[in-house]
Structure 1
Amino acid sequence: MTYATDLPGQPRGAAASGPATARATCVLAPNPSAMTLDGTNTWILAEPDSGLAVVVDPGPPDEQHLRNVIATAEAAGNRVALTLLTHGHADHSGGAARFAELTGTKVRALDPALRLGGEGLGVGDVVTTGGLELHVISTPGHTSDSLCFHLPADRAVLTGDTVLGRGTTIVAHPDGRLGDYLDSLRRLRALAVDEGVETVLPGHGPVLDDARGAVEYYLAHRAKRLAQVETAAENGHRTAEEVVAVVYADVDRSLWPAAELSVRAQLDYLDEHGLI
């Protein structure tokens, strides 16, 4: 879900399967693309020696990947006990139903259409499994149902597509809204400042060791792009297609359709605030 280049925040190289923190292990899905970077990061979370694991974003409906996730958890002595979704895009949630069949777990998500087993996820919920503690953070903007998960024991946050390990994400208009997204980024910045979160465990791309720096870069990037879109609109470029051609001229044209989604969200934001 990216259309920009590398960002600051001390990325740990390319995304790869393996342990990232004391409680978080990544299994990289085999779905690389311009929009998914190296592929979708499926996260296995477990308290050391608990025997139980939580899986966040099982990924696309790739049977071998889903079985690899289970095997990775079992190799560490953990049984998958619960599945969580950061949001409903298919590269994160498409394999959830099959994964639930394979593991016998419930799937919890903000969107009722994605839940399996009757349990949802709400703002302020604390998920506890096998001693593991995850705090649910409301982060709409990329999509209306986007969530992040704060893992306080590791000073980490799982960000789905809200913050990526490389590049910047789209605001998926019309479901995603720029005002919501900016509020979500500020919420994540407060998490870094007030709760000491240091590590970003993203849905795509490498782990970042400077959560505050990454979020502040995102905020600065959004402010810059918004100013560019406003200037383009003032100069008579009023459609999303026209604005993209001016503002995103340095971006590969294959990614312009994705950029158009963000531009539409930016134009709506400027219009709502009486700026165009």
Structure 2
Amino acid sequence: MDRALSTWRQGDCVHGPQWFVFRVSPSSGLSDAARAAVAAGADLVEEEVPGFVVVTQTCDVVRTCAARPYVEVSPLIEVPNDFLNEVKRGRRPAFAFIPALEPHRLVADLDRAMTVEKSVVAAWNRVPGWTTDPEIRALAAALARKRVRFAFPDDFVHFVRPLQDRLTGRHGRDSPEGRALRSLREIRVGASPSWDDARTNVMFYFIRTGEPDEFTQDQWVRFLETWLGLIPADGRFGEVEGLVTTLEGLTAADYVASDPLDLDHLSA
């Protein structure tokens, strides 16, 4: 069995009908599947999913079954193309992009996880989830982001909501602004002196992929002015500034001093 597991890696998948199992409270099922189980007098739910992705680190997957008998997996779900592209760009921290399953529009649902013994995984037909170093780095970053996402202050969550709503609403549109948003690698935000100060300045970084796009520098400036115009200085948030740039144009210090702004939600 150890030999069968030796080729499995974090991000590898089983593709095809599987069953995701989770426990529910007999007194209050929250999902449709849970309510159906409760009505039947059960406290465990088995829900069919189109496959699983391994989220356990590779070093633990390939260790002996005696030393590490368990593997953690997350279910795959099918999503629309626009949503798939948002996951691919890291804009949906509750999900992870699996390169090999892109043609099937399947992504990992990181809100759900299940522990199985390695003997279960050994019986699966392995589908390599990725093929290049950048792909596994992106997957590892998605898994880490799910667990260690920065919790922005409550007042900032309220302050930035108009911008977040605008970006979410325009991202999928076939318009200049929609295409501009889709050409961004990520959006980051930092605070100076810090988020805890009574008066703080906010800096947004709209980071382009670095690939050629259809927009001139003047057009990017106009987009930036529109976006920042939705969140004028207010309350303890003094100056609100922004920059459209690339990773090459951003200093390492600015990158590590900022945090990603997600489309899903802002944690407070």
Q: TM-score, normalised by structure 2?
A: 0.25
Bigger radius of gyration: 2
Q: Which has the higher strand share?
A: 2
Q: TM-score, normalised by structure 1?
A: 0.25
